[in-house]
Amino acid sequence: MASNQAWPSASLVGKRILLGVSAGIAAYKSAQIVRLIKQAGGEVRVVMTDGAQAFITPLTLQALSGEAVRTSLLDPAAEAGMGHIELARWADALLVAPATADLIARLVHGLADDLLTTLSLACEAPRLIAPAMNQAMWRHPASRRNASLLGEDGWQVIGPAAGEQACGDVGPGRMSEPEAIVEALARRLAPPTTTPRPRAVITAGPTREALDPVRYLSNHSSGKMGYALAATAVEAGFDTTLISGPVNLATPPGVTRLDVESALEMHEQALRLAPKAALFIGCAAVADYRAEHAAEHKLKKVDEGDTLTLTLTKNPDIIAAVAALEPGERPFVVGFAAETRDVSRYATDKLARKNLDLVVANDVARQGLGFGSDDNAAMLFWRTPAGIESLDAKAQPKRALARLIIDHALSLTVNPDGAAP
């Protein structure tokens, strides 16, 4: 990995951003989007729908942006000079965040019955939109169809992310985090570059090992940690490929996703891509064993006896195979250790035995953390000339932990002696 790799700063210097806010609970995050655009050097003006004002006040966004907030198409003072057209011409980009299911449907059909939809039709600058809705609404065929149609109309759809929602549901539909949205905006407006980005390859989710055409061996991995790492790697400037087992998660913006089922399929893709990568993170919960011979037809229950004997054979060790690549092909290798006891002992053993650069170990027996949850806690282990060092990462959202992990991996490539960042 390049020794000067570091987190890029999203630059919007001199860019004029029109931010549309619609009526979703995620509107409270719009304040942070305004702050991040300003911090990146951009100007921002805000347009709110009537419903959005029930979730966050125009005064809040006015104070943060330093500009008057527009809320009405029929504002005589503003429209005296065709204000909505002037706003559309002023913008270098239009960003709508959050975008409700209702607003997306109206945009798809070209309605112009309020200021925001009118601006969306009049604006010829790049247009980006961040959906935010209940997971059942997002899964509905109409919502998915509308989001696809927006893409065909030239909108860049950011997210949505998956996780716990305000209503208590868990699933895809939550608005992407403000940092990811502003990063996507900055990339969209960045001048073209011929400098290739370093590549990251990340495995995520479980594998399924077939026993017969209808049964398989698997585990409880949801893939959330791996998907958080993939989204964070994109934000860190990596050209990111995600090798994913079967999960119910949306692909993070900017990530190339390869879907696999079995450990053998994941092994094949990992060894194909790892030699081209600067960073490899093995976050998938790969099954250690598979059936020696998967049955061609469904296994039937037999009348004699109460047991069934299966012959299993060991799957290839993906992370060890990547770590064993020749120096010219070997990326910086990060492994995960999901344990239920003696976490430190097993993690340090894995670090040495598999020749890894960094091990992220977590206790999956802890309630509310690890498999299926939105939060995680972990310990990071790495080697130095003085011995093995560690860092205790307390319970935090998986996106925050993902950034800590990738930050730490980058710091170790800059400082191979292993001083903690």
The annotation status of 212 as a binding-site residue, yes or no, is no
Q: With contact defined as beta carbons under 8 Å apart, do 241 and 247 qualify?
A: no
Buried b (16+ CB within 10 A) or exposed e, 262-292: bbebbbebbeebbeebbbbbbbbbbbeebbe
Tokens 């997002």 belong to: 138
Q: How many other CB atoms sit within 10 Å of the CB of residue 327?
A: 5
The annotation status of 350 as a binding-site residue, yes or no, is yes
Cis bond before residue 160 (omega within 30° of 0) = yes
The annotation status of 284 as a binding-site residue, yes or no, is yes
Pairing relationship of beta strands 332-339 and 155-157 according to DSSP bridges? unpaired
CA distances from 151 to 107, 108, 143, 147, 282 (A): 11, 10, 13, 7, 32
The annotation status of 318 as a binding-site residue, yes or no, is yes
Q: How far apart are the C-alpha atoms of 217 and 208, rounded to whole Å? A: 6
| Catalytic residue status for 123 | no
The annotation status of 283 as a binding-site residue, yes or no, is yes
The annotation status of 319 as a binding-site residue, yes or no, is yes
One-letter amino acid for residue 345 of the chain = R
The annotation status of 238 as a binding-site residue, yes or no, is no
Cis bond before residue 178 (omega within 30° of 0) = no
SS3 177: coil
Q: With contact defined as beta carbons under 8 Å apart, do 236 and 302 qualify?
A: no
SS3 189: helix
Of 280, 213, 220, nearest to 247 by C-alpha is 220
Bridge partners (DSSP) listed for residue 171: 163
The annotation status of 317 as a binding-site residue, yes or no, is yes
The annotation status of 354 as a binding-site residue, yes or no, is yes
The annotation status of 314 as a binding-site residue, yes or no, is no
| Set 6, 121, 166, 167: catalytic member | 167
Annotated binding site: 282-284, 288, 298, 316-319, 336, 350, 354
Q: Just list the catalytic residues.
A: 167
Annotated binding site for CTP: 282-284, 288, 298, 316-319, 336, 350, 354
